[in-house]
Amino acid sequence: MQEFRYLENVTTLKLDEERCTGCGMCETVCPHTVFKVEKSKAYFADRDACIECGACTANCPVEAISVTPGVGCAAYIIQTWIKGRNAAVACC
């Protein structure tokens, strides 16, 4: 996936290193190798590759990761503009 890069510095992904226990779950579930774990702590190996799918936040056992999850799809975002975030239906 390295040949495909999307916009930089846009992701809402945040990692609380204090809380992190280094279990490695985020590294396992991320489809874009955003995380790496070393010395019992996760760190961003490639934060700009994040697609905000929410796999890491759903599976972090200590809630150390936060992201505003959603679908990277124009039609979906137009719906969130018109109807609001909660009423929009993911469209892919």
Partner 1 sequence: MKELLANDKNAASRAEACCSSSQVTMGGSAPQPLSIPMAQTQEDDTPCCGPKPGPPSSPFEKPGYRMWHFVSGFAETPVGAIPRIATTLKATDFAGTFRARLGICRDRYRVAPGLYSAGDPGAESPVLVTANYKLSFDSLRRELNSIDAWILVLDTRGVNVWCAAGKKTFSTEELIRQVNGVGLNRLVSHRELILPQLGAPGISAQAVKKGCGFKVIWGPIRASDLKTFLRNGRKAEGKMRQLTFSIAERILLIPVELSLIVKPSMIILLAVFFLSGIGPHIFSFSAAWFRGLNGAAAYILGVLAGAVVAPILLPWLPRRQFYIKGIWTGLVVGFIGVLSLGNDIGRLEFLALVLVSTAVSSYAAMNFTGATPFTSPSGVEKEMRQGIPIQIIAVAVATIAWVAAPFVN
| Calpha distance 56→80 (Å, rounded) | 23
Q: Of 17 and 91, which CB lies nearer to partner 1 in the complex structure?
A: 91
Smallest distance, partner 1 to C-beta of residue 40, A: 19
Which phi and psi (to 5°) does residue 72 adopt?
-80, 75
Contact residues: partner 1, CB under 8 A? 1, 3-7, 10-12, 25, 28-29, 31-33, 49-55, 58-59, 61, 68-78, 89-92
Do residues 90 and 76 touch, judged by C-beta distance below 8 A? yes
Specify burial of residue 7 (Cβ count, 10 A radius: 0-12, 13-18, 19+): exposed
Task: State the nearest-atom distance from the C-beta of 17 to partner 1, in Å.
Answer: 20
Instruction: Name the minimum Å distance from CB 86 to partner 1.
Output: 13
